[in-house]
Structure 1
Amino acid sequence: MSWKIVEKHRRILAQEEGVTSKRRGGKLTVCLVYPNRYTVAMSNLGFQAVHALLNAETDILCERAFLPDPDDLREYRKGGTQLLSLESQEPLSSFDVIAFSVSFESDYLNIPVIFDLAGIPARTVDRGASHPFVMGGGAALFLNPEPVADFLDLVCVGEAEALLPGLLDRIRAEGLGDREAFLDKAARLPGIYVPSRYEVTYDGVRVVSRKALGGAPEQVQRAWMAEPDDRATVSEILTPGTEFADMYLVEVSRGCPRGCRFCAAGFIYLPFRQRSLESVKAAVTEGLRSRHKIGLVGAAVSDYREIGELCRYILDQGGKVSVSSLRVDRLDGEMIEVLKASGHKTVALAPEGGSQRMRDLINKNLTEEQILAAGDLLIGHDILNLKLYFIIGLPTETTVDLEELAALVVKIRERVVAAAKKNKRLGEVILSVNPFVPKPFTPFQWCGMEGEASLDKKLKYLQQAVGKLPNVRLIAESPKDAYLQALLSRGDRRLSTLLLRAAELGNWKRAAREFAIDTDLLVHRSIPLDEPLPWNVIASADPERLKREYRRAFSV
């Protein structure tokens, strides 16, 4: 065992607030694993919520583990130490259950690395009764679990608050000694997907058929928390080692009522649920005992029905407010004054579509006049740094759409510069541009992603058109990174071979070149509406609604 790693774990624990220690004695032991660095994991409310839910059970001990930092990774490799849990520094192989919490598809690449470090076979078929039982959950896994399906004994499809009680009761009743018998019964539980109970056949990149085995349902229905006030979702553990170290996070709502056609949050978290003002105030009051700043969390924070009153309450209690971005059509003067009083120097807006045609295509329901009015409102309140989110490569996008995007940015810049000169202050427009990635359970899931060369050309155009202007800064996601995201979003369970090889080589692109299936075809092809989709083994959204929205978008 590496004492260097043990000591680092102990230093991290010493800095954390809110951790409750438990002893193993007779308990079911679970290691909750986030397949990325500690800093990323502990910034994730979902990860923290599951950790707290499990440890609230008196007969369960839940510890945490993460993808090691580069220096630690070298230390593990050098000394041959197996991957250790954070709390007790015990090997992952010593736990009864390993539970992966996966929020982003790109973290699928790290799952084989974690298995290797833990000395546990990655594929379920290679594990036996002496190995931990392996399960997974999180947003990425109820979008498309198939690329990692061969690694997981079961997948939780939906929200932990709704899923875990029934699953834990079944584990208590049946035990995990006879894995096959347990999985047969678990497959009948709401929201539980057991990949080994499905037989899938393929023809090239296409799914031809899927057969449920052993009484498993044809489709696994997503489970969701019906009453959001039943349990607060907040920062359970506070630590300086996160992106949000100076704030206490509070979820105000779950899901999004807008239905933008490219965005999964508007479909896989339906129905849109808002917590009561009383319950959120109670969480805020608790949070202000530890931090002076409250981070409001949700896919549609500014759609929260009592957002103004909530923000004023936080200020009146001596706190400050932080939000990640605001809806263009939900801005008002009171909200902006709250943000100013909380020290916000920059406010983020998300027009997403650069032209009116693109905004209509994605169902954004915003006009250029509304976007400019929102900018004017912020500038009028002396907030002179605006961050604008746009997507390029949307289906049917043309040069004309890009030109309209550039023209919009120029108009906003002119307003910022004029106000900055008047107020003798600097102002900046930050343009954040991301390539369109087709996501499962959205109306655009059937659309292919635009080619890298074309996206590079569009980014170069934007850099020339607006990126070199004074007071404008262009930041963009690499089309290569977006390609990987699309591959893992749209892939099937045969991608497990690619993921394992990528872990061996340390390079997913080299692994893709060796892969038997054409990854370009997986990423770029448009899928017929009647073709079975790899992720349709789970039912995270209404398929007929998705088809209707697709047809409305393209008038087909």
Structure 2
Amino acid sequence: MATSWELKQAIEARLRDEEGTLRKDAPVRVALCYPSPYHVAMSSLGYQTIYREIHAHPTATAERAFLPDDPAAWRQSRTPLYTYESGLPVGHASIVAFSVAYEIELTGLMEVLDLSGLPILREERTDAHPLVVAGGPLTFSNPVPLAPFVDVVVMGESEEIIHDLLAAYESCGSRDELLAFLADRPGFWVPSLRRQVPAVAKAEDARLPARSQIVTPHTELRSMFLIEPERGCSRGCTYCVMRRTTNGGMRTVPPERVLELIPQSARKVGLVGAAVTDHPKLPALLRTLVDDGRQVGISSLRADRLNDEIVGLLAKSGARNLTTASDGASERLRDAIDRKTKEKNLLNVAQLTRKHGFAQLKLYLMVGLPGETQDDLDELIRFGTEISKIIPLAYGCSPFVAKRNTPMDGAPFEGIPEIEKKLAYLRRGFQGRVEIRATSARWAWVEYMMAQGDENAGLAAMDAWRGGGSFAAWKRAFRDRDVRPHAARRVEDGRLKLPTLAHWPTVRDDAPRRAGSAG
């Protein structure tokens, strides 16, 4: 087991390899925590943006802390979790702030609090403890399970309102005064004072684009500078939180602004956003970067926007695999969820990837959409086999999980056995010609229960974490806390009906999972 000295040496090695680390002495010290390990956190554009924004505040500094790769090593060595920049124990910070991306990271938040010597439940902390704050992508869908654990939730885009929080922290004389003040401010939710969750905040366009502050080789996107040429989306996919009705839809950043913010030293650039290929000037931006000899990656490639120029430029920049999404198993299902991707679009992408020498095409796919039938799966097998004759094909299959604040809010989870049977059917149908890379149906069900859950779901997550984090622990915790999915409506036979109660899964358990892991 690692010693405290070995844990410190590992952090110092990472710091030596970073470019852009910020350090500053200031009276308000924010421990900016990420409830997943370093290599995940440093690929988060939102996390890096808030790190920079806090440093820009005149009287505040941000110091990073992460869910350790091996929490047990910290616990057994009796080493309190501390920040990377100065070694400040997280429990000694003025504010402990979390960026939470998705539901199951809630257990990582608990782990970080526990390793920092802080009570996990909000009601057990006193004025002697730091203010505990949470924000991040989860606030766009369902932040309610966070309520038992945090004092304040920063809703939505926080580039501006993080400064409001810091100013209020300095000016208010007590915690009660601070919470009462924030509870009446747009963009803040104080669960102890308000049950109603407020609307998400929207940053002014002048603060765009979000971009990397620190570049490191120790991350999922190795040594890549990330920047967003657009924010939001103009499309109406019914399953997606970041659709055209969210914060005014898509907002584009002029290519000149994007280019002036990319350091000359950045030889790998990631263009990040919900709908990057919908940017009307993407080809010109991409061409400039590639002609400058940079390797470029793009998130959220849309099949109906890919053309010979874009695919050719990606190949020229060094990309070997191309990933886009079909989402529904059939064209009928894609139309039903307003995805708009046609077979002809996907065939065109397959032909372009072959033309430009890509090694593989990967398509994201949801399994278990409401109304999905065997006919839809048969269409998928037929069409996937057709594509595989053009280019090696892999499907990244995820069970459908309904999210709050979408038109499909409240749609039921199909069921673990049913999802597993469908995945097995697809594997048999493809007969090895197409690779199926499937995420766990069991952990998708856990995600669903949290995504559709309330404060009680958050308490169940705490019970599951304390119980070791296995699937059996989650199942038991949901049962003991009587957690039920959000009683919203669902579409059935063209009419809106209340969902029936789901059966508890009766499947084999698996090994205990590391806290903060999602599967």
TM-score norm. by structure 2 comes to 0.90
**Counterpart Cα distance in 2 of 1:290 and 1:251:** 18
3-state SS of 1:349 partner: strand
Q: 1:275 & 1:264 partners in 2: Cα distance?
A: 21
Q: 1:487–1:519: 8 Å Cα contact kept in structure 2?
A: no
Q: Per-residue CA shift, 1:372-424, capped at 9, x if unaligned?
A: 223223323333511111111000101011101111101111223xxxxxxxx
Counterparts of 1:373 and 1:65, CA distance in 2: 44
Cα contact 2:442–2:471 (8 A) shared by 1: no
Whichever structure has more helix as a proportion of its residues is 1
Post-superposition shift, 1:460? 0.3
Rounded to whole Å, the distance in 2 between the matches of 1:364 and 1:519 is 36
Aligned twin of 2:458: 496
Amino acid at match of 2:415: G
Match of 2:17 in 1: 15
Given the alignment, which residue of 116, 119, 122 partners 1:121?
Answer: 119
Once the two structures are TM-superposed, the CA of residue 244 in structure 1 deviates from its matched residue by 1.3
Q: Distance in 1 between matches of 2:384 and 2:405?
A: 31
The residue correspondences of 1:231-310 to structure 2 (distance < 5 A) are 231-266=208-243, 267-284=245-262, 286=263, 289-310=264-285
> Does the 8 Å contact 2:273/2:300 carry over to 1?
no
Q: 1:411 aligns with which of 380, 386, 402?
A: 386
Residue 36 of structure 1 is matched in structure 2 by 36
- Picking from 310, 315, 319, the partner of 1:344 is 319
Mapping of 1:499-538 within 5 angstroms? 499-515=461-477, 517=479, 522-523=484-485, 527-528=488-489
Q: Which residue of 2 aligns with 1:191?
A: 187
SS of structure 1 residue aligned to 2:365: strand
Letter in 1 for 2:467: L
Are 1:475 and 2:437 matched, yes or no?
yes
Measured against aligned partners, the alpha-carbon deviations of 1:311-353 in whole angstroms (never above 9, x if no partner) come to 1111232323211342111111111111111111111121111
Aligned to 1:75: 73
| Amino acid of the structure 1 residue aligned with 2:167 | D
Q: What is residue 209 of structure 1 aligned with on the other side? A: none
Q: Partner letter of residue 11 of structure 2?
A: H
SS at match of 1:197: coil
Q: 2:375 aligns with which of 400, 405, 409?
A: 400
* Whole-angstrom distance in 1 between the partners of 2:108 and 2:469: 12
Cα displacement (A) at 1:20: 2.5
Contact 2:367 2:398 in 1 (8 A): yes
State the match for 1:224 in structure 2.
202
Secondary structure (helix, strand or coil) at the match of 1:494 reads: helix
Give the CA deviation at 1:155.
0.2
Q: Residues 132 and 64 of structure 1: is their aligned pair in 2 closer, same or farther, counting only changes over 3 Å?
A: same
Change (3 A) 1:233 1:516: closer
For structure 1, which segment, 139-148 or 120-129, has the greater mean C-alpha deviation from structure 2 after superposition? 139-148
Structure 1 distance, partners of 2:207, 2:376, is 45
Matched, 1:434 2:401: no
Instruction: Note the residue ranges of structure 1 that are not aligned, 5 or more in a row.
Output: 199-211, 213-217, 417-427, 530-549
Query: Counterparts in 2 of 1:168-187, with a 5 A limit?
Result: 168-175=166-173, 178-187=174-183
Q: Secondary structure at the match of 2:159?
A: helix
Separation in structure 2 between the aligned mates of residue 269 and residue 519 of structure 1, nearest angstrom: 34
Q: What is the TM-score normalised by the length of structure 1?
A: 0.84
CA distance in 2, matches of 1:69, 1:155: 26
Q: Deviations over 1:470-507 (max 9, x none)?
A: xx221001101111111111111012322222222212
Alignment partner of 1:164 is 2:162: yes
Q: In 1, distance between residues paired with 2:63 and 2:478?
A: 38
Shift of 1:165: 2.4
Indicate the SS of the match to 2:379.
helix
For 1:236 and 1:143, the matched residues in 2 are separated by: 26
**2:404 match: secondary structure:** coil
Q: Distance between the aligned counterparts of 1:450 and 1:247, measured in 2?
A: 38
Deviation of 1:142 (Å): 3.1
Contact between 2:216 and 2:224, CA under 8 Å: does it hold in 1? no
Alpha-carbon distance between aligned partners in 1 of 2:355 and 2:475, rounded to the nearest angstrom: 53
Secondary structure at the residue paired with 1:237?
coil
For residue 232 of structure 1, report the CA deviation from its aligned partner.
Answer: 3.3
Alpha-carbon offset, residue 219 of structure 1 = 4.7
Question: How big is the shift at 1:80?
Answer: 1.7
Aligned twin of 1:91: 89
What corresponds to 2:5 in structure 1? 3
Matched to 2:101, the amino acid is S
Aligned equivalents of 1:10, 1:89: Cα separation in 2: 10
CA contact (8 A) 2:54 2:163 kept: no
CA distance in 2, matches of 1:436, 1:190: 32
Matches within 5 A, 1:456-467: 456-466=420-430
The answer (yes or no) to whether the contact 2:145–2:454 under 8 Å persists in 1 is: yes
**Partner of residue 506, structure 2:** none
Quote the Cα distance in structure 2 between the aligned partners of 1:171 and 1:130.
14
Q: Which residue in the other structure is 1:58 paired with?
A: 58
Change over 3 Å in CA distance of 1:231–1:512 after alignment to 2: closer
CA contact (8 A) 1:448 1:527 kept: no
| Matched length | 493
1:240 match: secondary structure: coil
Work out which of the residue numbers 312, 325, 328 in structure 2 matches 1:353: 328
What is the aligned-residue RMSD (CA, Å)?
2.1
CA deviations over 1:237-265 (Å, ceiling 9, x no partner): 01111011232111111111111111112
For residues 168 and 494 of structure 2, the distance between their equivalents in structure 1, rounded to whole angstroms, comes to: 46
The partner residue of 1:454 within 383, 403, 418 is 418
Q: How far 1:230 sits from its partner (Å)?
A: 2.9
Q: CA deviation at 1:521?
A: 7.1
> Aligned partners of 2:80 and 2:61: how far apart in 1?
20
2:431 and 2:259 map into 1 onto residues whose CA distance is 42
After superposition, the Cα gap between the structure-2 partners of 1:195 and 1:65, relative to the gap in structure 1 and judged at 3 Å, is same
Range with greater deviation from structure 2 (514-523 or 386-395): 514-523
Deviation, structure 1 residue 554: 4.0
Cα displacement (A) at 1:526: 6.4
Q: Contact 1:250–1:280 at 8 Å: present in 2 too?
A: yes
Say if 1:166 and 1:189, in contact at 8 Å, map to a contact too.
no
1:258-286 deviation per Cα after TM superposition (whole angstroms, max 9, x unaligned): 111111121445421111122112123x2
In the aligned structure 2, how far is the partner of 1:136 from the partner of 1:475? 32
Pairing of 1:130-169 with structure 2 (within 5 A): 130-169=128-167
Runs of at least 5 residues in structure 2 that lack an aligned partner in the other structure: 497-519
Please give the residue correspondences for 1:198-213 in structure 2 after superposition, counting only pairs within 5 Å.
198=194
Question: CA 1:21–1:394 in structure 2 vs 1: closer, same or farther (change >3 Å)?
Answer: same
- Which letter does structure 2 place at the counterpart of 1:438? A
SS of residue paired to 1:113? helix
**Is the 2:274–2:300 Cα contact (8 Å) retained in structure 1?**
no
Measured in 2, the distance between the counterparts of 1:172 and 1:115 equals: 23
